[in-house]
Amino acid sequence: MNYRRENYLIDSYIFSMRRGWCMSSACSTCGATKLRIHLFEHAIRNEISDDDKEELMQTTRFYPRTSMLPEAIKEKVIASHINEFNKIQKGDIEKVDRLIEQNSSRTYISGFINFIRFMVMDIWDSLDHSLSHFDRLKQLKCGISSIEVLGVVDEMNNHFQNLRKGTY
């Protein structure tokens, strides 16, 4: 399997690692803007014209943060990301990390799992905030069929629940 050609999330992760791009969803300096633009471009592809993309950049606050996009565009981006999530099979997160380690002279600390967490948080932040935590979690998991990604979502939720209870 050629991961980079078959899944733009994996390609984007490798691309961003090589360029040293920020992958922090809560970065107060850059907001992971370069990575978000790259992901947006892959997700939306030719769905909208270059003129419409330019208008989005000019009129959307915190462009290209998924949560700030117009609803129709946001839905397309999220659906595209989830489609890529669903291509990730059991063991693929570890395989991607090994692939990078074998083909690089540098050591990368982040790990593909942290990139998946970044993507999950991007989608989470885009969900309806008036819903309860449980309903947002249900909505997040709704279209995801990848066991690997669902495992990451469950691990993130468990971490959140433990922090909420003060057991960490």
Look up tokens 């970044």; give the residue.
118
Q: 43-47, 73-77, 80-84, 105-109 — which is least confidently predicted?
A: 105-109
Q: Does pLDDT of 110 surpass 70?
A: no
- The CA distance from 94 to 74, in Å, is 29
> In the chain, what percentage of residues exceed pLDDT 90?
49
More confident residue, 114 or 25: 114
Q: What is the pTM of this model?
A: 0.86
Domain layout of the chain by residue ranges: 3-165
Query: What is the average per-residue pLDDT within 113-124?
Result: 94
Burial class (CB in 10 A: 0-12, 13-18, 19+), 132: exposed
> In the chain, what percentage of residues exceed pLDDT 70?
91
Burial class (CB in 10 A: 0-12, 13-18, 19+), 162: exposed
Burial class (CB in 10 A: 0-12, 13-18, 19+), 7: buried
